[in-house]
Structure 1
Amino acid sequence: MIKRLGHSVREFKKYALVSPVLVAIETFIETFIPYLMAGMIDKGIIPGNLGYIEKMGLFMLIGAFISLAGGAGASWYSSLASAGFAKNLRHDLYYHIQDFSFADYDHFSTSSIVVRLTTDIMNIQQAFQMLVRAAARAPLMLIFSIVMAFTVDAQMALVFVVSVPAMAIGLTIIIALGRPLFKQVYQRYDGLNRVVRENLRGIRVVKTYNRAAVENKKEARAASRIFNVFSKAERILQLNMPIMQFVMYSTLLFLAWFGAKRIVAGTMQPGQLVSLLAYAMSVLMSLNILSNVFNQMTISLASAQRIDEVLTYKSTLTNPRDALTAVPSGEIEFKNVDFGYEDDHVTRLHDINLHIHSGETIGIIGETGSGKSTLVSLIPRLYDVNKGQVKVGGENVIYYDIRTLRDNVAMVLQQNVLFSGTIAENLRWGDENATDEQLVHAAKLAQADDFIRSLPAGYDTYIEQGGSNVSGGQKQRLTIARALLKHPQILILDDSTSAVDTHTDSLIQKAFREELPHMTKLIIAQRISSVQNADRIIVLQAGRIEAVGTHAQLLAKDALYQEIYHSQVKGEETDAKN
């Protein structure tokens, strides 16, 4: 795991290596200064040797400036290295999830991925900066201080042989108890993120139904679950401070007591005791720094494992070797297809056998939950089948290069999404090199050109995030135009005209018949009027093909189609009377 995450340091590795070198310089001089101070006291201050005092004072001043420069440089480079590491890690994680299938996103959940890209990476960034700065400083300070303490007085320095292991054992126990709790914390962050995302995305519904109080309770429950675990983990980690203070003050008392006795006995100089006390403070300070490092490492280890889980996850969707890079036609074939989503373990499609000729217009209709969207999602490999084959242009879709396949299968999803930017920028998602004339032509086919031109800035009108400043019907027409700009072999409209009035819907279907005769078109619809002119209509029920035929054929022989048709006709007649 460490090696995989460390790969993201890349071009910032030199900064990460320079920082510990500067830390070593800073720490060595910092621990050498008390040694000079001992000499200044014993050989300068006590005997009154002013020249020696000035000489030692000058050395200490120069050393302090060098140490300061080393510390400042180490902080600069460690900050640069950690920020760069986080940037690269976020890039690597984000690019990795771009290759995920819909099933992979279902496996992790969107909210969990967002937390990993934000909170978890921030934790790792802080840990990395601490690693190349504080984690290098603390052991060096510990080693240098102990070595210098033994140089000053080996007998008194033996106290560190007891105090250092005692502190290390205490820290080890604390980390072992705290680490599992932090893993729970970030799992509960996922839950809070999910609640907040749902609330903000559905804020209009929340306000309309006066459900703010209910949503507040959901957020409070999610926040409380984080608080309960996080506070328990923090209480455990905070035990390191009293342990550290107990060891530190016990060591200082020992040195002060026995050092004073030895000075009185004449076996030790006052300067030596001062330097030993300074080294004791340095040793215990380094242990305190190490405890903080271990605390941060404990927190970040849970984050590192969560990020590594995503980075090492093998997507269920992969490009084959020697992938096909051309789709010869819009012919589609389903052969003995079964499919079920990973999370619910229910087979949603059963033994689907269907052949669609290139250029055909196919309507798909059925009750809610009958598997309409699931069926068409298999064509561009948003999901892979559990059994059987889906063929496009005579070849199994798993043999195509994914980019090639999806460039030739344009799909307008149920949940239409527009991005922040102008209308023209959104349309060019279909073809980034599309000319203005091509934009207009696609918009006209989707019956969007008129309303676009009615806007003050026309095609340069700015779309707010999620398309909140356009109506549902306008959003649908824009996403249809965007799909048409791909010039695909196959166009799939997944209930993509549900918010469009019947007149506009009929104009869109007419434009498709007249302007796009060679494109295979699959139209999922709730309204029979949207598909009744299709070459064939597929009726789905409970994941199975109930019937296939023209509007007239189905109206004559299929009971489910008749039921849907008559209920809609009756509804239209009632609306007309009202």
Structure 2
Amino acid sequence: MVFKALGKYKFWVAAALFTMLLQVGAALWQPSFMKDILNVMSNMTLSTSGKVDKISGYGVSLIGIAVIGLIGSILNTITAAKVSQSVSADIRERTFRRIQSFSYADIEKFKAENLVVRMTNDINQIQILLMMIFQVLIRVPILFLGAFVLSIITMPKLWWIIIIMVALIVLVTGIAMKLMGPNFVAFQTLVDKINGIAKDNLRGARVVKSFVQEANQEQKFDAASDELLGRNLATGYIFSTIIPLFTIISQLAIFVAILFVSTYITDSQSLAQSQLGGIMSFIQYMMLIMFSIIMGGMMSMFASRGFISMGRIKEILDTKPSMKFADVPAETLTGSIEFDDVSFKYPGDDELTLKDISFKAAAGEMIGVVGATGSGKSTLAQLIPRFYDPTSGVVKVGGQDLRQVSEKTLKNTISIVLQKAILFYGTIASNLKQGKPTATSAELDRAAEIAQASEFINQLPEKYDAKVEERGSNFSGGQKQRLSIARGIVKQPNVLILDDSTSALDARSEKLVQQALDQDLDKTTTVIIAQKISSIIRADKILVLDEGRLVGQGTHQELLQTSDIYRKIYETQKGKED
């Protein structure tokens, strides 16, 4: 996933690696000059002026190396930022496109709040990881190997001190990472949980306040937040012991190195001059080794979160949409609908929601679907635009099995208006044009008239350019439903599904909508899911569902004679109206 994205930015990757090598080279080069400077200072054969000249030359070289390292550091930061920002942006776009291709079942599997966290927090973690890779994680092993080799070349007799120091630091780092690893895994899960609690609380703010559940919501949020705090503190406590331990190990190593070199000098005064410069370079290389291990350890701990996030994003990108559309040319389908022995159950459920449903509807008919709550009405409606595929049986539109037509054909043929009206931030026009991006003003007017939305749109100063707040919060429930109906109509589909989408309308508005649908959409097959029989009483065919089974179909008058369930529903509702 990441390597594929990096291939697009080969120049910037190469630049980041080159500038990183400049930093490493400068860091490894400096200790050798310190050795030369100390050797000059301890050389008894050189005059004072000769020493000054040589030391000045070495000083200028050291300044030059430092400038090279500084330039490399600045350019490395710029190029690494370019790579990390660009790659994370590409991954974010790929992830969003993949989510857009998911079916309802796929989205329900991941959960909406989880997908939001993955697209924001997890991709930010990947961005941080890439920055660390090109600034630290690649530099650290090169710096370590270079310092390790040069330290042994400088003081061959003290190689074992380096080995012991490295082994101790690696051991401490390994133990710390093992202890902190589970906390990093739990961190992302807890972020998902907190995000879900916050989202539910904000979306259901009216319910929370009306039932005085603020304290309960605070308790739930605090519990998850405290658990996250505990994980972070546990990580912090472990991390707080690492640097002191590293410091103790490195200082002990330096002490042992100086102790052994002092014995060499004591035993053989002739070695003093060569050993004095060497021990200073050796100590500097030891510090570079310690620094590289410390940085590698710390960055690896933080990078582990990035690798976890990378796995979570990879899970999305590797998920193949559970629903595939046929790769065939687009065509025009008529509005006929047929269910042939259709059964369906939701992913993860054991029981069938729909059982052996069979019926036919001719193009241009109005089909009503009625039944008790939980009888499967909305599920039946969602199979027609192929939000889900049936578990068994065949759903046909225009005589074609929906699994054999292209996505474009299906979307151009069918519109669905859901019970929960969802509007997007923008304008009324931008929301209506989601049904048909090329819709003209006349088409918008026609759709608004049929949906009885023009009566409040025309009262707005900006009319169709009126602003729609997030989730349509500046419109009433009835207004949002009418705008949703207009959005479904503006496409002029051959099949229009209204899933209890007039539930928030008053009786007068609902009646006007039904009359307009009869008169202006007489060639469109209309499927109306309703709780109230009055909403579908004039339908050409009414389907009666009970516990997922089709227990009756026919006109209103026919069902009064043949269906006990329909008759009971009608009499109950008629009694309430009376």
Which TM-score band (shorter chain)? over 0.9
**Structure 2 residue 193 is matched with structure 1 residue 191:** yes
Greater shift, 147-156 or 60-69, is seen at: 147-156
Residue of structure 1 aligned with 2:16, choices 16, 19, 26: 19
1:256 corresponds to: 258
1:49-89 superposed Cα distances (whole Å, 9 cap, x missing partner): 11001111111111111110011111111111111111111
2:370 corresponds to: 365
Greater shift, 272-281 or 331-340, is seen at: 272-281
1:88-138 superposed Cα distances (whole Å, 9 cap, x missing partner): 111111111111111111111111111111111111111111111101221
Residue of structure 2 aligned with 1:421, choices 400, 423, 426: 426
**What is the alpha-carbon distance in structure 1 between the residues aligned to residue 378 and residue 356 of structure 2?**
16
2:286 corresponds to: 280
**Structure 2 residue 486 is matched with structure 1 residue 484:** no
**What is the alpha-carbon distance in structure 1 between the residues aligned to residue 383 and residue 248 of structure 2?**
65
**Structure 2 residue 529 is matched with structure 1 residue 505:** no
SS at match of 2:553: strand
Aligned residues, how many?
569
SS at match of 2:438: coil
1:525 corresponds to: 530
Indicate conservation of the 8 Å contact 1:106/1:343, yes or no: no
Residue of structure 2 aligned with 1:290, choices 283, 291, 296: 296
1:128 corresponds to: 130
How big is the shift at 1:296?
1.8
**What is the alpha-carbon distance in structure 1 between the residues aligned to residue 185 and residue 350 of structure 2?**
27
- Give the alignment of 1:90-101 within 5 angstroms: 90-101=92-103
**What is the alpha-carbon distance in structure 1 between the residues aligned to residue 137 and residue 367 of structure 2?**
65
1:163 corresponds to: 165
Indicate conservation of the 8 Å contact 1:350/1:543, yes or no: yes
Residue of structure 1 aligned with 2:321, choices 301, 304, 315: 315
1:306 corresponds to: 312
Cα 1:241–1:43, aligned 2, differ >3 Å: closer, same or farther? Answer: same
SS at match of 1:328: coil
SS at match of 2:388: coil
1:499-519 superposed Cα distances (whole Å, 9 cap, x missing partner): 011111111111111111111
**What is the alpha-carbon distance in structure 2 between the residues aligned to residue 76 and residue 558 of structure 1?**
75
Instruction: Give TM-score, length-normalised by structure 1.
Output: 0.95
Identity score, percent? 33
How big is the shift at 1:564?
2.0
Residue of structure 2 aligned with 1:32, choices 24, 29, 33: 29
How big is the shift at 1:324?
5.0
Indicate conservation of the 8 Å contact 1:178/1:233, yes or no: yes
Greater shift, 80-89 or 151-160, is seen at: 151-160
1:442 corresponds to: 447
Greater shift, 135-144 or 535-544, is seen at: 135-144
**What is the alpha-carbon distance in structure 1 between the residues aligned to residue 299 and residue 196 of structure 2?**
31
**What is the alpha-carbon distance in structure 2 between the residues aligned to residue 375 and residue 367 of structure 1?**
14
Cα 1:234–1:371, aligned 2, differ >3 Å: closer, same or farther? Answer: farther
Cα 1:433–1:234, aligned 2, differ >3 Å: closer, same or farther? Answer: same
**What is the alpha-carbon distance in structure 1 between the residues aligned to residue 208 and residue 16 of structure 2?**
51
Residue of structure 1 aligned with 2:141, choices 139, 157, 164: 139
1:376-405 superposed Cα distances (whole Å, 9 cap, x missing partner): 111111111111111111111011112321
- Give the alignment of 1:65-76 within 5 angstroms: 65-76=67-78
**Structure 2 residue 11 is matched with structure 1 residue 6:** no
Structure 1 unaligned residues grouped into runs of 5+? 574-578
**Structure 2 residue 469 is matched with structure 1 residue 472:** no
SS at match of 1:308: helix
**What is the alpha-carbon distance in structure 2 between the residues aligned to residue 235 and residue 373 of structure 1?**
53
**What is the alpha-carbon distance in structure 2 between the residues aligned to residue 19 and residue 371 of structure 1?**
58
Indicate conservation of the 8 Å contact 1:339/1:349, yes or no: yes
**What is the alpha-carbon distance in structure 2 between the residues aligned to residue 234 and residue 54 of structure 1?**
46
How big is the shift at 1:328?
2.3
1:201 corresponds to: 203
How big is the shift at 1:45?
6.9
Structure 1: 4+ residue segments shifted above 4 A: 44-47, 233-239
**What is the alpha-carbon distance in structure 1 between the residues aligned to residue 441 and residue 266 of structure 2?**
95
Cα 1:225–1:354, aligned 2, differ >3 Å: closer, same or farther? Answer: farther
Cα 1:227–1:346, aligned 2, differ >3 Å: closer, same or farther? Answer: farther
Amino acid corresponding to residue 293 of structure 1 in structure 2: M
**What is the alpha-carbon distance in structure 2 between the residues aligned to residue 344 and residue 245 of structure 1?**
57
**What is the alpha-carbon distance in structure 2 between the residues aligned to residue 425 and residue 129 of structure 1?**
39
1:18-54 superposed Cα distances (whole Å, 9 cap, x missing partner): 2121111111112211211221122147653110011
Greater shift, 419-428 or 240-249, is seen at: 240-249
Amino acid corresponding to residue 16 of structure 1 in structure 2: V
Amino acid corresponding to residue 274 of structure 1 in structure 2: M
How big is the shift at 1:10?
4.1
How big is the shift at 1:359?
0.8
SS at match of 2:458: helix
2:349 corresponds to: 344
Greater shift, 260-269 or 62-71, is seen at: 260-269
Instruction: Give TM-score, length-normalised by structure 2.
Output: 0.95
Indicate conservation of the 8 Å contact 2:419/2:503, yes or no: no
Residue of structure 2 aligned with 1:452, choices 443, 457, 463: 457
1:270 corresponds to: 276
**What is the alpha-carbon distance in structure 2 between the residues aligned to residue 388 and residue 452 of structure 1?**
44
How big is the shift at 1:244?
2.4
SS at match of 1:537: strand
**What is the alpha-carbon distance in structure 2 between the residues aligned to residue 63 and residue 19 of structure 1?**
19
Greater shift, 74-83 or 273-282, is seen at: 273-282
- Give the alignment of 1:145-156 within 5 angstroms: 145-156=147-158
1:576 corresponds to: none
